[in-house]
Chains A and B, each alone.
Chain A
Amino acid sequence: MALDWTTVLSFLIDGLMLGFVFGVAAMGLTLIWGVMDVINLAHGPLIALAMFGVYLIMNFLGLSNPYPALLLTTLLALPVGMGIYYLAVHRVIDAPHLSSLLATYSVNMMLMGVMNAVFGGAPRNIDFSLGSITLFGNIVIPTARLVAALAAILIAAALYFFLYRTRVGRYIRAVTDNRDAAELVGVPSTTILALSFGLGVLLAAFAGGLIATIFPFTIFDGGRYELKSFVIGVLGGLGNPIGSLFGGLILGVIEGLVPMFLETSWTPVIEFGLFVFILLVRPTGLFGGKS
């Protein structure tokens, strides 16, 4: 294949743009893990639910572009996430990890069951197009993908600002560091935990909605992105949301470049190989975090 720089750039740019979006999805997972030591196994179905949310809101309101629906879905995700926390997670937050795993997994099963009953397995597609942009004469970028990548960067920046420049963000970081100590100095830890879970779900929903603007989806697609989130989480450091964004970029680069040299079906093999390798060699992730 012609290895000229426009070809390489095409592959790379495609991979990177998606990498940002996957990074946001992973941030949702790692935020929850970081703050409360809970692995949210309902992450996948929540992503899928957001995809359907955007689709349904668009159709219900007769919108011609999905972004208002995306905003609405994302805003709704916060109370939904907090609700899941209070109902399923709060009671087992201090129990051994297995309990919280089971709790979130049961939420996963319930969501999948309901979605299957309501939507079925058929693929859906959000029918809209923003056209495309051409760089350097022959690299074509569909505008919707570019918008998704930019939106992902924006929300990552917003999260960073929130965590490091606001009081509530400081509370979250305090609870992450040491929940008991935080409680002692007056931080309402339960509310903060619920808020953090809600934020994690919000991020997952935002990523899911963005993906829905680019690709067709089924209720089962959430699982695929959940898997990527785990890989990214490990790459970037579980518990380190900003590291997740970089982990997403790394994954994006892998997904972009591997098909240049191998058959595309090798990409997951390489991804998971890397996943296992990092777990063995540096379990705290490339950028550090909880192990």
Chain B
Amino acid sequence: MKFGKKTLWVMLVLLLVFALALAACGGKGEEAAPSGESSSTAETGGGTESGGATESGTESGAAEAKEVVLTIGFTESQTGKYNVSSGRQVKGLKLWLKHINEAGGIKLSDGTVVKFETVSYDDESSKDRVQELYTRLATEDDADFLISPYSSGLTAAAAVIAEQYGKVMITTGAASDSIYKQGYTQVFQIYTPASRYLTGAVDILQKVDPNLKKIAFVYEDSKFATSVVTAAKEYAESKGYEVVLFEGYAPDTTDFGPFINKIVGKGAEAILGGGHFQDGSTFARQLHEEGVPVKFVALLVAPPEPDFAELGDAAVGIVGPSQWEPQAQYTPEAANELGIEWFGPTSKEFVDAYVAEYGEEPSYHSAGGYAAGLILEKAIRAADSTDPAKVKDALDAMDVLIFFGRIKFETAPEAHGLQIGHEMVYVQWQKDDQGNLKKEVVWPEAGATAELLYPKP
């Protein structure tokens, strides 16, 4: 088709005008969802819809009982490789939200009632999406407080944004120490840091088999796993172990054959490492398939997940560090003995509520999600205010025992926000008398529910 020059110019101008008009309309529009599948969900106990800007401070009715609705922003990995663990973390957080809103919110001393709502999106397990979405949460959605996504990698990306916009962010599901060495002041860690994840596994080895000398570290080349094994390697070497292999694998690795061959070739007696759920499970499965003759295997993240039982026989004997287990012995009495305050439900109360709500057992990711909400609640109560600066001060001063364990944050500037009160427990999958797979706590011995199965069958 041939157009005259004049016609072309007219068409071009019309097109430009049309485009400008579209842009003007689109900009004002609600819920222009970011490209891809992100769903914005808002839970409310106190009634306001989420979407554009939400002010924290909606007046309601009587002059004395002021109601404030705080917006909590976070992302969930509904798709992508973190979806299992992230899903559990968010379930835990939402359970806390349900409890607090059902209880009528937090009542401050001046009579203000604080209720909560959330705004969240699907980060697709992607760092780029986390950056976009947390910026959106901090700016357009006006979140008052932020909860991190799941995983150290994604949380590191979110922490930058939180700090940039001065939003207090409680991180859960993120253990990497490096996030807290960046000089941030607004970011607070619930989980035991990575540097203390596998050191306990070395302690177990020392106790159960002093003759074992050769350890292989095979780990996911991610922020989290790398910081765990680096600290564990130092610790192991300081205790006299020989590290025969220390090698990382790409996060999307599915073929552990070369690593298994190396492990066997170097005569390793124990394997420490792994990364997240998918690669850890695949690694465990292939270790079993290839009949690798090691006596002790401790993997990150995967073993404590109830889904790990799907491996069947491949799961037996595998040890994993856990941030929390349902059998954990944190109680108000223990708090008394430590001389600190107790807050929130007991482990049993949490587990029962979780099972009633979701019909499944909670993993430590679920517990971490609930703990994040609980600590935020405690901080607001302690600060007796919703002012983020006062809440931050309350977090700095916190030293409390909750069902998840002891929570205390480092306040020194070089590691501000690092969790210094909480410790790991170690679980191992064992078969009970009926041949069913069961997850037992094997360390520390004080809290153990069963003896360590050693060597690994």
Contact = CB atoms under 8 A, between A and B. Distances in A.
A259 B79 contact: no
Interface string B78-93: 0111010000000000
A254 B201 CA distance: 35
Interface stretch (B191-199, B246-254, B363-371): B246-254
A236 to B, nearest CB: 22
A122 B259 contact: no
Given A18-B255, A132-B291, A123 B81 contact: yes
A259 B290 contact: no
Interface stretch (B262-270, B336-344, B409-417): B262-270
A1 interface: yes
A242 B291 CA distance: 35
Interface residues of B, number: 31
B81 A121 contact: yes
Contacts of A217: 254
Contact of A7 (B221, B265, B292): B265
Interface stretch (A80-88, A148-156, A260-268, A283-291): A260-268
Contacts of A142: 286, 289-290
B282 interface: yes
Given A255-B258, A264-B247, A264-B249, A127 B80 contact: no
Nearest to A9: B261
Given A11-B261, A129-B289, A215-B282, A2 B255 contact: no
B80 A14 contact: no
Contact of B291 (A140, A215, A256): A140
Nearest to A11: B261
Given A10-B261, A221-B254, A265-B248, A123 B79 contact: no
B261 A122 contact: no
Given A18-B255, A127-B310, A134-B291, A216 B266 contact: no
Interface string B110-153: 00000000000000110000000000000000000000000000
Interface in A264-288: 264-265, 267
B80 A121 contact: yes
Nearest to B266: A1
Interface in A128-180: 129, 132, 134, 138, 140, 142
A123 B278 contact: yes
A120 interface: yes
Contacts of B282: 125, 215-216
Interface string B225-258: 0000000000000000000000111101011011
Nearest to B263: A1
B258 A14 contact: yes
Given A10-B264, A123-B278, A127-B310, A216 B254 contact: yes
Contact of B79 (A14, A120, A134): A120
Contact of B250 (A18, A140, A218, A265): A265
A140 to B, nearest CB: 5
Contacts of A122: 79-81, 83
Contacts of A134: 291
A264 B248 CA distance: 8
B258 A140 contact: no
Chain A residues touching B, range: 20 to 34
Contacts of B290: 132, 140, 142
A259 B261 contact: yes
A201 to B, nearest CB: 23
A203 to B, nearest CB: 21
Contacts of A2: 265-267
Contacts of A221: 252, 254
Nearest to B314: A129
Contact of B258 (A11, A121, A127, A218): A11
Contacts of A14: 257-258, 261
A259 B292 CA distance: 17
Contacts of B124: 121
A47 to B, nearest CB: 14
Contacts of A220: 252
Contact of A259 (B81, B254, B262, B310): B262
Contacts of A138: 264
A126 to B, nearest CB: 11
Contacts of B252: 218, 220-221
B265 A260 contact: yes
Contacts of A255: 258
Interface string A7-29: 10011001000100000000000
Contacts of B79: 120-122
Contacts of B257: 14, 18
Contact of B125 (A121, A125, A215): A121
Contacts of B310: 127
Interface string B398-437: 0000000000000000000000000000000000000000
A127 B281 CA distance: 12
Given A2-B266, A121-B125, A123-B278, A264 B259 contact: yes
Nearest to A123: B278
Contacts of B264: 7, 10, 138
Interface of B: 79-81, 83, 124-125, 221, 247-250, 252, 254-255, 257-259, 261-262, 264-267, 278, 282, 286, 289-292, 310
* Among all A-B residue pairs, the 7 with the closest Cβ atoms: A259-B258, A215-B254, A1-B265, A7-B265, A142-B289, A120-B79, A14-B257
27 contacts: A1-B265, A1-B266, A7-B264, A10-B261, A10-B265, A14-B261, A18-B257, A120-B80, A122-B83, A123-B81, A123-B278, A132-B289, A134-B291, A140-B289, A140-B290, A140-B291, A142-B290, A215-B255, A215-B282, A216-B282, A221-B254, A259-B258, A259-B262, A260-B261, A260-B265, A265-B249, A265-B250
Given A18-B257, A120-B79, A264-B247, 8 more contacts: A1-B262, A10-B261, A125-B282, A140-B291, A218-B252, A259-B261, A264-B249, A264-B258
